[in-house]
Amino acid sequence: MNNINSNKHISVRLEDAVDSLNIQKDKIYVDCTFGRGGHSFEILKRLSSKGKLFVFDLDLDAKKYFDNNFSKFKNCFFIQDNFKNLKENLAKFDISKVDGFLFDFGVSSPMLDNANRGFSFKLDARLDMRMNQNQELSAYEVINNYSKEKLIQIFWKYGEIRNPVPVVDEIIKYRSNKPIETTLELVDIIRKRTPIKIQREKKHFARTYFQAIRIEVNDELNSIRKALSDALNMLSKNGRIVTISFHSLEEKEIKNTYKDVLESKIPKEVPINNSFDFKIIKIKPKRASSSELEENNRTRSSFLKVIERVNE
C-alpha cells in the first residue's frame, strides 16, 4: 500500500482504535472524523479491494488532503458533511448496514494548530472556531452578539464552569466599546476576572471557555447524539462502534445514547429472557499509554469506548 504524507500529524489512539474495530477485510467501515486520515489509512491497510471505507469531514482542508493523498484508493469515499448526517449520506450509496464506525470527537490537531482557524487560546487569530468554514455562526458572533443570559448558559452547560458571571460581565463591558475580534483578546478578558489561583493551575484558565464556545458554534453534542443513534441502528451483527472522547460532556452523550440499548426497562424480577442486542467490549487500557503520550500529548485526556452488536 502507498505511503501517506501525514504532515507529522499523529492520530489519537491509532492502533488501539483500529484494532478495536475488529476489521474483517471484505466488510464496510466508516471513519466519521477523517481529519488527516491517520485512522482511515490504518483501516485501509486492513481491507481487501472488496472492502469499503467511507469517511466524513466538514473541513475544506480535510477534503483537499483527501484529494491529494487518498483519491488513489478506489474503495475509499469522502463525504463532506457533518457526521450527524451519516445515515442520509450513506443511503445515497445504497448502504444501510455497516460493520464498523470510528468516531474521534472534538477538534482535530490540524485545526487546533492552524492559528487562522481561531480554535486555540494560545495562538492569536480572529475568533472563528467553525469546523465547517461555510457556515455563518462563528465564535465572533457568539461572543459579540449573544445576550448575557445566553453566554452564561453556554459557559455553564458546555464549559461546566460553576460561576461564569464575572467573565460574562467583563465580556459585555468590553464589547460595549468595541467588538471582541481575536482569540488572545478574549483570553485577556477572561484573565481579568479569573482568580490568580486558577490562573496558576496546570490547565489553562481559558480552556473551558473556549471549549464551550466551540461546542456551541459547531452544535457538537447534538451531532454526537444523532450520529451514535443512527450508527447503532445501522450496525451489522458483530459490528462495532469505537469512540474516542476527550471530556466529560462527550462521554456523557455516549453513555446516555448507549443506555437505552444496554439497560432493560423490564424489572429484573420479571421471569423473561432479558437478552440485549448490544454489549460493551472491555478495552485495556481505556486511557492512552505512556508511549502514546510521548508521541502525542493530546492523547492524555482521550477515553476509548467500544460497543458491539451481538444480535440482529
Q: What is the pLDDT of residues 289-312, one digit of tens each?
A: 555 555 555 656 789 999 999 987
Question: Among the listed ranges 17-21, 90-94, 297-301, which one has the minimum average pLDDT value?
Answer: 297-301
Q: Extract the annotated binding site.
A: 37-39, 57, 83, 104
**Which pLDDT belongs to residue 275?**
62
Architecture of domain 121-218: Orthogonal Bundle (1.10)
Q: By mean pLDDT, which of 21-35, 265-279, 295-309 is the weakest?
A: 265-279
CA–CA distance, 56 with 215 (Å, rounded to integer)? 18
Residue 271 in this model has a pLDDT that exceeds 80 = no
Q: Is the pLDDT of residue 10 over 70?
A: no
| C-alpha–C-alpha distance, residues 267 and 270, integer Å | 6
- As a whole number of angstroms, the distance between CA 143 and CA 243 comes to 30
Distance of alpha carbon 105 from alpha carbon 267, whole angstroms: 35
Amino acid letter for position 43: I
Biggest CA–CA distance in the chain, Å, is 69
What would the mean pLDDT of 97-106 be, rounded to a whole number? 96
- Cα–chain-centroid distance for residue 124? 23
Q: Which residues does the annotation place in the binding site for S-adenosyl-L-methionine?
A: 37-39, 57, 83, 104
CATH fold for domain 14-104+225-309: Rossmann fold (3.40.50)
The pLDDT confidence band at residue 272, using thresholds 50, 70 and 90, is low
Predicted TM-score (pTM) of this structure: 0.88
Task: Taking each helix axis as running N to C, give the angle between helix 183-192 and helix 165-175, from 0 to 180 degrees, rounded to the nearest 10.
Answer: 130
Mean pLDDT, rounded, for 198-227: 96
Tell me the per-residue pLDDT of 168-195, one tens digit each, with 9 for 90 and over.
999 999 999 999 999 999 999 999 999 9
Average pLDDT over residues 27-37: 96
The predicted model gives 58-66 an average pLDDT of 94
Query: Where in the chain are the domains?
Result: 14-104+225-309, 121-218
> Cβ contacts of residue 245 below 8 Å, gap of 6+?
105, 106, 251, 254, 302, 303, 305
Select the more confidently predicted residue: 97 or 9. 97
* 3-class secondary structure, 26: coil
pLDDT in tens, 250-266: 999 999 999 989 876 55
CA distance 184 to 182: 6
